[in-house]
Amino acid sequence: QVQLVESGGGLVQAGGSLRLSCVASGRTFVGYVMGWFRQAPGKEREFVAAINWNGGNTYYADSVKGRFTSSRDNAKNTVYLQMNSLKPEDTAVYYCAARIDRVNSRPHEYDYWGQGTQVTVSS
Task: Provide the pLDDT confidence category of residue 27 given band limits of 50, 70 and 90.
Answer: confident
Cα 26–chain centre separation: 19
Using one digit for the tens of pLDDT, what is the confidence trace for 82-97? Answer: 999 999 999 999 999 9
- Taking CA atoms, 84 is separated from 16, 29, 32, 39, 53, in Å, by 6, 26, 25, 18, 24
Distance in angstroms (rounded) separating the CA atoms of residues 95 and 21: 10
Taking residues 66-71, report their average pLDDT: 98
Task: Provide the pLDDT confidence category of residue 1 given band limits of 50, 70 and 90.
Answer: confident
